Structure 1
Amino acid sequence: MEQFILTATLAFTVYILCLLGYRLTLHPLAKFPGPLIAKLTDGFGGVYALRKDIHLKIYEDHMTYGHVVRYGPDRLIFNTESAFQTIYNSDRVTKSHVYRAAQQHADQFNIFNVRDRGMHRAKRRLIGQVVSEKSMRSFEPVMLQQIDVLLQKLMKASASSAPVNITPTVRQLGIDIVGHLGFGYNLKMQTEETNHWLMNAFYLGDWRINVCMQWPLLTWIRPEVISGLMPNSIRARLFDLLDTMIKARLSQKIDSKHDLLGVIAGSMGNEFKSLRQQELWTEALFFFPAGGETTATAISAAFFYLSRNRECYKKLADEIRSSFLSGSEIRQGPQLASCRYLRAVIDESLRMCPSVPGVLWRELVTGDDGTEPFIVDGHVIPKGTQFGVHIFSLHHNEEIFPRPFEFRPERWLEAKDEEARKAMDRGFAAFSTGSRGCAGKPMGYLECSLVLAKTLWYFDFEKVSDLGGGVLGLPGIRGRINHFQVDDTFAATHNGPSIKFVPRPDVSHELS
């Protein structure tokens, strides 16, 4: 027995050494530069994903190794606008198999994790009807009601000069909006604390998915399933709440509200009756963090940078206050769309702090015979390779965005030449691009525009602490005190900024 164990151990050791040697010298990606350990194991990225700073590490490695970095035995990451356009607009490319990490069940998919093109098109058509610009015109009154709740909270805080932590405040707003848009359900995140645990639930879910996507071996380990067996676990509470929301909505007339469930029912007709509730859960599990969490990053970043760049603050305040005659006029339409500096502030905030800072992994479609090489930035991508563009690094590529760590909304309005502007547009990945681009782009822009415009109409504001910024003395980006700091848990997570609001005396009575 001892001899067998010794022989097996020796054989396993030889196998591992041969495998590592192959990955370093003979592997199709052996010529590409990157961290040594990353070339040997996906565990390198997995560890940094666990630390939630993988976006910073990849940025540093791009600065060290160049525009293309090998970040796993079979992974390549790019940071150029040409790679972004080539990869995400190609019919030969599909989502990577690592998106299985986001599936609750092997046979159930949502618009985020579905890889089949036909199924994705069908789901996108449905979701697109809910979050399109046309849909937002119908839903806007509900969104405005929720933003009014936010404004009342700011007014209450201003009465005692209490600082407001923007991150949890706008996360609660976003989840309330998506509760109404998804299932016509009032979660009361802004007015009650009962459902505040949802923010932690989405955060933990995103974090687990990101770790498993970076280190796919962990996909087969499902700690959330084990924890879900425990009474009152976050997973169990989440599914109980989704069950309550769906049943409450199904008890009403389907066409009584403009929401996801109503659109699905209208599109499916009689087939809707046979739709399993679990399938609705699957879409809801993505709909909430995608619609409610990502806009919170853009709004939080905008408040952070505006409170630290007074010239930008004044330009935007002047634009808003000269474009409208009252707060009630601030709504979707030509007037709001004409606020070009507002749009530039939102785009610059999304550039500095993309809501999804990492890599949207892709691979060649099954059945691609490889007779024609797939080329990205002059590099042939071997079959079986996982590849993609790192959004944070792309958005801070100084060849596309000069002085990338400066908040300059003017860059979107005063590009030096047409080619420079085109490069910025092609390198702006906040909503991705191509057939898999974010369907919720109109909703995201509308929510951000309304929140910022209405807040600046009714209030002046200033920072009261350094919350949200870097810490002087820390290495790298973490030491940048005027850079809004985020953690990478697939979606960006953050804290701050801390803002003091002062009502404008000549218009604040409109909120009474």
Structure 2
Amino acid sequence: MESVGAALTYLKYALYFLASWILCHIIYRLFLHPLRNYPGPLLAKITYGYGGLYAMKGLHHVNTYKNFQKYGRVYREAPNRLLFNSLRSDSATARQFLDIYFNPNITKGRSYRHGGNPGEPNLFAVRDNAEHRRKRKIIGKVVSDRSLQAFRPMMSDQIEIFLQQLLRSSFQGEVVNMTVICNRLGIDVVGQLAFGCALKTQTEATNRFISDTMFSSIYLNNLFYTWPSLAALAPALRWLAKKKVDMFSQAIGKMIAERTSQPPGAKPDFYSMVTGDGGLDQSELWGEALFFVSAGGSTVATAICGALFHLSCHPDMYDRLATEIRETFSSGDAIQPGPILASCTYLRAVIDESLRMTPPAPSPLWRELEVPPSPTGKPFVVDGHVIPPGTEVGVHLWAIMHDAEYFDDPFAFKPDRWLLPQEDEAGKPTEAQKTRAQLRRAHVVFGLGDRNCAGKSMAYMEASLTIAKVFWYFDFNRAPGKAGELGCGRGGKDPWDAPDQFQIFDILGADHDGPNLVFKPRGELWRDLEHDNAKSAWSYY
């Protein structure tokens, strides 16, 4: 009994100590912390768990938008985090992007420690600026215009398989969930680029678990990114998912073994372009390739799904884009990257507007001071705010792209806002041109500064080709009845919850479901897709 009483006494003291420790932390963060005077939710000032709870639900982006409406252009998002939301050209706040993302003494925030392998961080997660420049220089070759030209035939093959799946579904009168098949298209394309490997997720079930595993990993990384203390649970979570992790590792190992058994120059892929003198080490090579698969596939899928969703909501815009594509090209085979496709300005406007409304990466890009202040004593300043060391700062991408100050009627789908206005008679920029220039500054879909997305050109090329070819070969409508509501807002009071808003969930990337569409072949054009490759693509079914 005495031993039990002693144990209870020790436990009581331990609880007293823990409660005192928590109370001291709360008092410090509320009343003594360097960021104590910034507005923000009370719970956010105390714990990172405030943002973490919304991240668990995938609603961190809309909650952030609400907080900007309540607290203004700058607020305290977590104990050691400040979020900014302004780039007005008529004031000093226009410098926020420059102060944060174009500052040589600033690096990615400590939150990125939880992205990828901590021992060998990939291009997304690496914090050291010099190391990032090295990786970016090497990896940039993979998605350069020259490399994309060499890779284009493999991309076109995967897009053709995608079109064949739509054709099969149209003949069978099936409803098509675009998120499902666009994710498969995206991962098959970047699987070829990363590993030179035909994953065949569009036609076979074998490797489809790879995409599911990656989305689960992205979701967990987002929780750690938003609520860093949860990263302590990572080993336990990996143990619980050991079976899936082992399957994933075996599949990746098989692809690596298959690719490395061939000469580097055998295929125009990631391996061929980053190996050799001055390239990536073997220890980092495949981590970067995996990042390509996870980031590249979901980016394009979101772009395509968002565009088709919004066009299905707006028949006039649908008809305008259909007319542009069908009058510009003489055949489906003629739709190729180049000046003719680039002349389809309304297609690009549709993609830009869809990316604005449903960005593939809606989260804030956290940055902090990399080195101590210079010998001159110059501090880290953002828009006149002196940022204390150890503070992460950022601009929230989804919030700024839905800000009425930069985008008139921000929750309305308006591709016309991206069309180039004409100069006035004197050759001077018009007010419309000035407005469009501001829109471009606020269109931060692919990030900012020298750490922006390296795969931007590839994403636009794949999305443009796919959407153009869909409009050439098919007409489509939203699925009838309840099925057609997938991906739509619920009709609530918030503007992002309207039925014509495509619903995304913030998981560092963008998760979504739908839209459900029904496709109808145009005349006899579908016969272009009917060949031996199509038969092999359908064999799974």
Give the TM-score range, shorter chain. over 0.9
Q: Which amino acid aligns with 1:280?
A: L
What is the TM-score normalised by the length of structure 2? 0.89
Aligned to 1:265: 275
Structure number with the bigger relative contact order (C-alpha 8 A, sep ≥ 6) is 1
Aligned to 1:27: 33
Of the structure 1 ranges 63-72 and 138-147, higher mean CA displacement relative to structure 2 is found in 63-72
Aligned to 1:158: 170
Alignment partner for residue 104 of structure 2, among 91, 95, 98? 91
Alignment partner for residue 451 of structure 1, among 440, 458, 466? 466
Q: Please list the CA deviations of residues 471-496 of structure 1 after superposition, one character each: whole Å capped at 9, or x if unmatched.
A: 12x45356311100011111100000
Of the structure 1 ranges 42-51 and 406-415, higher mean CA displacement relative to structure 2 is found in 406-415
In the alignment, is the contact (CA less than 8 A) between 1:85 and 1:426 conserved in 2? no
Q: Secondary structure at 2:82's aligned position in 1?
A: strand
Q: Distance in 2 between matches of 1:7 and 1:144?
A: 68
Give the 3 Å change call, closer, same or farther, for CA 186–424 of structure 1 in structure 2.
Answer: same
Q: 1:11: how far off?
A: 4.0
Tell me the matched-pair count: 502
Aligned to 2:52: 46
Give the 3 Å change call, closer, same or farther, for CA 174–21 of structure 1 in structure 2.
Answer: same
Q: 1:155: how far off?
A: 0.9
In the alignment, is the contact (CA less than 8 A) between 2:477 and 2:517 conserved in 1? yes
1:267-306 equivalences in 2 (<5 Å): 267-268=277-278, 275-276=281-282, 278-306=283-311
Q: 1:140: how far off?
A: 0.5
Q: Distance in 1 between matches of 2:344 and 2:65?
A: 33
Alignment partner for residue 215 of structure 2, among 183, 203, 216? 203
1:223-238 equivalences in 2 (<5 Å): 223-228=236-241, 230=242, 233-238=243-248
What is the TM-score normalised by the length of structure 1? 0.94
1:70-85 equivalences in 2 (<5 Å): 70-81=76-87, 82=94, 83-85=96-98
Q: Which amino acid aligns with 1:296?
A: A
In the alignment, is the contact (CA less than 8 A) between 2:373 and 2:379 conserved in 1? no
Q: Distance in 1 between matches of 2:21 and 2:486?
A: 50
Q: 1:10: how far off?
A: 3.3
Q: Secondary structure at 1:328's aligned position in 2?
A: coil
Aligned to 1:344: 349
Q: Secondary structure at 1:329's aligned position in 2?
A: coil
Q: Percent identity?
A: 42
Aligned to 1:485: 503
RMSD value over aligned CA atoms? 1.8
Alignment partner for residue 390 of structure 2, among 366, 371, 384? 384
Q: Which has the larger radius of gyration?
A: 2
Alignment partner for residue 399 of structure 1, among 405, 430, 438? 405
Q: Distance in 1 between matches of 2:101 and 2:82?
A: 14
Q: Distance in 1 between matches of 2:314 and 2:384?
A: 40
Q: Which amino acid aligns with 1:291?
A: G
Q: 1:119: how far off?
A: 1.4
Q: 1:17: how far off?
A: 2.0
Q: Which amino acid aligns with 1:485?
A: Q
Q: Distance in 2 between matches of 1:384 and 1:293?
A: 32
Give the 3 Å change call, closer, same or farther, for CA 511–7 of structure 1 in structure 2.
Answer: closer
Q: Secondary structure at 2:353's aligned position in 1?
A: helix
Does 1:467 find its partner at 2:486? Answer: yes
Q: Secondary structure at 1:121's aligned position in 2?
A: helix
Aligned to 2:424: none
Q: Distance in 1 between matches of 2:9 and 2:199?
A: 64
Q: 1:267: how far off?
A: 4.8
Q: Distance in 1 between matches of 2:469 and 2:153?
A: 14
Alignment partner for residue 527 of structure 2, among 497, 501, 509? 509
Q: Secondary structure at 2:54's aligned position in 1?
A: helix
Q: Distance in 1 between matches of 2:158 and 2:277?
A: 28
Q: Distance in 1 between matches of 2:17 and 2:129?
A: 43
Q: Distance in 2 between matches of 1:258 and 1:414?
A: 35
Q: Please list the CA deviations of residues 75-95 of structure 1 after superposition, one character each: whole Å capped at 9, or x if unmatched.
A: 111122333343112212100
Alignment partner for residue 147 of structure 1, among 145, 153, 159? 159
Q: Distance in 2 between matches of 1:152 and 1:401?
A: 38
Q: 1:268: how far off?
A: 4.1
Alignment partner for residue 421 of structure 1, among 422, 426, 436? 436
Q: Secondary structure at 1:291's aligned position in 2?
A: helix
Unmatched 5+ stretches in structure 1: none
Q: Secondary structure at 1:129's aligned position in 2?
A: coil
Unmatched 5+ stretches in structure 2: 1-5, 88-93, 422-430, 531-541
In the alignment, is the contact (CA less than 8 A) between 1:93 and 1:365 conserved in 2? yes
Aligned to 2:205: 193
